[in-house]
Structure 1
């Protein structure tokens, strides 16, 4: 059933505009599996994931309502590689299991679907071989920094720490089959996504033959 499905890994550093590209691919017909959204789901109140996070990092990472204080947890882990690894060791297996479920559901609905896996840490976790095509949404580090400190309101220190905690831009580009440069307007992004969608559709058609 999975023979004609096209599995696309979509990644990009924080502030690159990956989520904008993901939304546009969804609008054009892709089935999008969002690893970030799933990562939030697996640590919602009452989940095994949240219990394990609290066991490692303490009650200080909880809000008054019992939900995870993602900002506080982020401030802890993004400045400490060992703590970040500990968090990833909890969350990533749970995310992987949920992604596998969603992939099976997509295959049952349409065996020739273009499934886009929106995975921020694709490079960091050496996941590129899992996909038929890897798309990297790319922007210069200084452009990303401006977006994070502007639209997202991060401090420059926090923004730089988060950029530094991820793979280098060069490492992402090294695994890319397709690059979406995103340093201009949303109209320019739309035009580039149209090109990319046409290429993905052609690849899917080739697999079906």
Structure 2
């Protein structure tokens, strides 16, 4: 079984991903892969520099995420252009890692994909878990964790598909407004109901 794990900014998806890892489930992490494909010297990083200018690179040849982020944050065309370079490479590597786990004999593989719905990757997985929190809790966490102002936090939250919409596409929802124990308990129940063997 391939489980897709998703959520929105500051809903606690990474926390649930860590819980799954601790239980021994293999994780294919889209964020980790998106860092991997833009390592210095990679063809993807070269394409990004060609498309956006070499100013998006640090002197050591690594990607200057802040610089690139500021270029694309309010520019839909540039964001699409960047996604067109990065996404295909990330998808290829995600599929490669998933296949590798299955070949090693894994019964269940978790694909941790923050933008599962936005990128329309539902077909990559058999079941979807959405980690959910209220916008008020998301805002609180972003202010505490990232030092954002309330407006900055809201802008980040509103730039994503509403969590309520993601919940509609989920096979199961983990409500992560409460304690870690409550989250852990919900996760265990879902895995048990789905008979998600290691």
The two structures have a TM-score, normalised by structure 1, of 0.87
Correspondence for 2:40 among 9, 31, 45: 45
Residue aligning to 1:125: 119
1:153 matched to 2:147? The reply is yes
Q: How does 1:22-37 map to 2 (within 5 A)?
A: 22-37=17-32
Q: How does 1:55-134 map to 2 (within 5 A)?
A: 55-110=50-105, 112-134=106-128
Cα deviations by residue, 1:83-133 (Å, 9 ceiling, x for unpaired): 2211111111001111111112111111x5211100011111111133110
Residue aligning to 1:135: 129
Cα deviations by residue, 1:173-207 (Å, 9 ceiling, x for unpaired): 1110000011122222222222222223x2569xx
Residue aligning to 2:16: 21
Residue aligning to 1:7: 2
Cα deviations by residue, 1:23-60 (Å, 9 ceiling, x for unpaired): 10111121100000000110111101111111222223
Aligned mates of 2:71, 2:142 — CA distance in 1: 18
Contact 1:31 1:113 in 2 (8 A): no
Cα deviations by residue, 1:46-80 (Å, 9 ceiling, x for unpaired): 10111111122222322232211223322332322
Aligned mates of 1:78, 1:191 — CA distance in 2: 37
Aligned mates of 1:175, 1:57 — CA distance in 2: 35
Cα deviations by residue, 1:133-182 (Å, 9 ceiling, x for unpaired): 01100111221121112112234444333322221222211110000011
1:184 matched to 2:195? The reply is no
Contact 1:28 1:197 in 2 (8 A): no
Correspondence for 1:167 among 150, 161, 171: 161
- Range moving further from structure 2, 67-76 or 121-130: 67-76
- Range moving further from structure 2, 11-20 or 56-65: 56-65
Unmatched tracts of structure 2, length 5 or more: none
Aligned mates of 1:155, 1:64 — CA distance in 2: 31
Contact 1:7 1:133 in 2 (8 A): yes
Unmatched tracts of structure 1, length 5 or more: 1-5
What do you get for the CA RMSD once the two structures are aligned? 1.8
Aligned mates of 2:6, 2:144 — CA distance in 1: 22
